[in-house]
A and B are shown apart, each in its own frame.
Chain A
Amino acid sequence: MSAFQGRVSSALADATLKIAIDRTTNTARTKRAAAIGAWPEFAEARELGRDIKDHVIANLEYYLTQFEANAIKTGAKVHWARTGQEACEIVVGICKAANAKSVTRSKSMLGEEIGLPHALEAAGIERVETDLAEHIIQLAGEKPSHIIWPALHKTREQVGELFRANHTDPGALASVEQMVNSARRNLREKFMAADVGISGANFLIADTGGICTVTNEGNAELTTTPPRVHIVTVGIEKLVPSMTEAMTMLRLLVRSATGAELTQYTTFHTGPKRPGDLDGPEEFHIVLVDAGRTKMLAEGLAEMLRCLRCGACMNHCVVFRQIGGHAYGSTYPGPMGSVITPSQDGIEQFQDLPRACTLNGQCGEVCPVAIPLPKLIRGWRTKAWVQGYEPAISKTALLLWRFLALRPGLYQFASNIALRFMPIFARSGWIAKMPLAGGWTTYRDLPSPQGGTFLSQYKAKHRKAAK
């Protein structure tokens, strides 16, 4: 059993996990469907969104250069990181130069991807996660299980217990509102005391050099405004040419993610505090991170760089909805994670991810930028097959089947022999157990075949008719 299958078994055995997954993903799907249903131009916007991203990815160097020049004009400092490790070193270096004891962070999957939480801790800097779900994850010492709802795997009852054990003066924690208020009380002083605030970015606006963050809790604003230093860590694929394109992307992103028309907070940050500004950071750093993105481009995964990180693909994935995010064992779970992870961390270690997919296509259908996720997932299976990672048993079976499928006469002969033996295992039409069929019959009965093959029955009938 692979490590993946081990995690799957534990996840499937966890009834509470399934309750937690269903509560959030069912609501997400219902709300997204309503939002898309109320947006007659969705299909057009989706094509536009796809074209905008493809255009930027095809002209990445041009827009990155433009973004950098404009960001510098606003007073921002722009840093380039080829790898996650380089990015972490840059961030830790800025924190140390600022003599930072405490850092607040608003939710960023890129931060998770590059291992920033760990890097900050290793550097002895206090890290305070300010997104409510990330706060829960930090208290539990876990990793996010969803890219929009990092604590999706926890029920509100479990969160209540966690807050009771960890919060100062939690008070009553019977309702979600009480839990939110307890988190707010516990986080508020941390916000104000932090030396550095670290955020991600949903968009980089090339023609202004600004960045855009979308949140529902206002924590990004409290993370980025009071501290002396604001650091943005962001993947280079987040570029859009201008505010016009950012608006198209925002509409697609938010409706697909939560089903709302807009997030509670949509903030554009451009440079540090200027003379006369009432607030804002004194230093504004933007760390542009590659971490495998140009590699994906070179590997034929350019379409994946369209991804807005909305999470719709996983909310609609039948596999994700059974096993949750942690079972994938990767930063990014679900369909988009099954495409990104093998590129970032290797197909050998993560060959289960593209395989554990029914290729039903719903992820690609709901993707707001029309990423052909099933095609890309199948592409990884092709790479895994070519590189010899297909497990020996299934490879042998497939090659034997292929040998027969290319020899129709032999195929019919072999089929008819197999079909003659199968009914031996059947009881009133159904097979509950049969050698070599355990993958099917562990959980399902197999209908016993109806005599010989269709082709042989058809041939026999025609012979009779001809006589």
Chain B
Amino acid sequence: MDYSAIFSYMYTEIALVGVIVAALVYDLAAGKKGRQAFHGVMCALLLLFIAGTVYPYHKETAEVFGGMYVYNPVYGIVKSILAIGTLIVFLQSDTWIRKEDTEFKRGEFYVLTLSTLLGMDFMISAGHFMMFFIGLELASVPMACLVAFDKYKHNSAEAGAKYILSALFASGLMLYGISFLYGTAGTLYFDDMVAGINGSALQIMALVFFFTGLGFKISLVPFHLWTADTYEGAPTSVTSYLSVVSKAAAAFSLMIILMKVFGPMSEYWQTLLYIVIVLSITIANLFAIRQKNLKRFLAFSSISQAGYIMLAVISGTPYGMTSLIFYVLVYMVANLAAFGVISAVEQNSGGKVGMDDYNGLYRTNPKLTVIMTLALFSLAGIPPFAGFFSKFFIFAAAFEQGFHVLVLIALLNTIISLYYYLLVVKAMFITPNDSPIPAFRSDNSTRLSLLLCLAGIMALGIVSSVFDGINLYAFGM
């Protein structure tokens, strides 16, 4: 066996395993002083990892382990985006993780988060359903531990139970679907399976079961019931990770599998996605309006954003893939900025996350308020910010394939979403409040992460080379 191929194509995963091992060893070996610098060391390591793997070293598609693992420059781009999201989450998590009841298990936080990242990388690069399944579970089992991380808090434990039971149920359904795919097609390799896909009734059932499993990870509407509870109960840093990185990885690998494996059945899954998109966007928007807790509010907003992401999947073209990746990138910076502000306010005000607590925040913390406002504008898709462009590309991708009514429904829903995003802005700027949250200064790494997100929100839409760069490598059905 040729080992050099493994190192030259699997460099992302191998480097990430290196980072995980380094984190484990550092956790064990560092003394009291070393632990003070743990956060800085981890961020530096992750930055080094991103810098080393962001450039796509090969321009061609390649297979390792007999087709189990597939290398493609597009996958590399998505993995880098996920790693950048993780870095921003790490930067924001410092204040929370330094608290007394979580300080002694900081190492676990880093190792578990990086393990889920590794699982997502394998999930994206899978060329075989077993690899895909292992990656998916590697991404969701440590995630359950992270959700239940604040183990003395009732909410966190409850959220963890809801998450792990729904995750188990969803993965059971997905495996059931895969087993029938295996029974009808006779293989589990993505590339070979296409030949055996003929749209028989059994395969349609398998497709639906399979879609359920991934729909759970992306939290699309019929499978979204865990989302709000888990997002509210989990520690805020974990919530932001869950809402961005995990969702993006699942959405991307769903697109890959639908195109690669279920390509011949596209009329079936396009119908399926059509219904799911309309439901996700509409129902999530209606529920978001009535939320009073900001974390729950962002949970519903992220469900409706997932519906928009699916608009790119339904097109199945290279342009759709580019717009998906771009949308995920833009959504990531905007959502992480919003969660960063929520996290900073929560940590510095003794756990306040209600929308009423934000009344009059502008008078005491103007900078945070402005960042939050810009992030919400970007999520809503207001023109000068990146969110407008990403939404535009997604709509164009779906429109091109003839989903005119669907795009119209999505457009109408952006207006509803604008209403509830502006509710938060109104609370912060206009609603009078005699005792707003007092002014505070968040720690430097949070400020750095917010600055990064802000730069992303402002610049990503205008710097067109980002979109073109992704477009260079994208492929379609």
A binds B: no
User: Residues on B close to A: CB < 8 A?
Assistant: none
User: Residues on A close to B: CB < 8 A?
Assistant: none
